[in-house]
Structure 1
Amino acid sequence: MGIKVGIVGAGISGLLACKYALSKGYSPIVFESKNTIGGVWTKTVETTKLQTPKPLYQFSDFPWPSSVETAFPTQNQVFDYLQSYANHFDLTKHIRFNTKVVSIKYEGPSYEEIQSWDLWGGNGDPFGKKGKWSITTQNLFNQSIQMEIDFVILCLGRFSDVPNMPEYPKGKGPEVFEGKVMHSMDYSAMDYESARNLVKGKHVTIVGFQKSALDIAMESSIANGN
């Protein structure tokens, strides 16, 4: 089997990590909590497009297909591109879908011993010779599996399915607001028709000015005929 590399997440970074681990002769195992690859591109609003020009957002060894002519591909085109990349390099067989990592624990030298090392791994070897990583995963059937891995790469991205909600003073938060309050992640997880019906005929206030905020502003405008 050789060196086993555990990769958490099958988004863009996870796919890259898997591909290059294979190119080095390692044995990657990708753990993905969803049933598909794609990371943030699996949940978007209908009008979402790539915000970076296509030539600046592509794999160095796998260019965009000629059929994608626009400079800013749609979310479906981006998702198809990622799927093609995974299929081209036969990465899917290394991915365990519907598998959530619930704990990662290093089992090896003590913290004090590690602090005394002058070289990574104690000998310059990034994988070390004295310890392992114990990973516990859980699947859709709540079955837990524990395994030992030589090296772990976290490819969770900035968002990791955890909404960043602001804190409000008591009595001044969503509980006293007569309208509906939701995070952009929850909005993006809805089907397109339900999402547009939610904002249709409504006064919508969007907190933030990043990509998801602009996408939802566009959705609200289209739903209300603006």
Structure 2
Amino acid sequence: MIDKRIAAIDGAVADIFDGAIVMVGGFGPAGQPAELLDALIRRRPRNLTLISNNAGNGDYGLAALLKAGCVKKVICSFPRQTDSWVFDDLYRRGEVELELVPQGNLAARIQAGGAGLGGIFTPTGFGTALAAGKETRHIDGKDYVFETPLKADFALIKALKADRWGNLIYDKTGRNFGPIMATAANCTIAQVSEIVPLGELDPEAVVTPGIFVQRIVPVATARQTQTA
């Protein structure tokens, strides 16, 4: 019987190893798997490479993971905002690396990783410092830069509902990067607000099929993060 439910949230992240590449869903606080991140902080792995849209807000979630000294490199599109003081401090002190990726390129590179592609040619970033050292081509009258795919050992995402097979539906903008990250990771771990019986999810509403999800953890009263 296929059953991907994990009762203890700490057990869901117990095998995230030192040096792992970890994708984390969320667009700022929206869709961020805060409880999974709290569990990962208790686990205290080191030298993680973090792939996410941003580099944390305030002192919770992604920022708390950085503050705990778990991350050596961040690959993201939006590292700085008014409440990104944790990342700012670590970066200025040389304690964390940054690979800056335009947001569209970030999504496309993750999609390429999930699709098994060897990379993509994109016009975004051509002629800028972001294209330094990368292959470029002139295709059909337009200049492009080659970007490699992004893949991960683990993806931590948040969804609204799941069944025990791991089929997922999301809550509005909480969907953001979760679906594509699930396709690009060796092990996708989803925290969900509710696990429903098989057959209760409308197949037309399922965004992430269970084949892309290895573990689901019920978090009935997910902590509400706040922006500054």
* TM-score, reference length from structure 2: 0.29
Point out the structure with the larger strand share.
2
Point out the structure with the larger helix share.
1
- Which structure's CA Rg is the greater one? 1
* TM-score, reference length from structure 1: 0.30
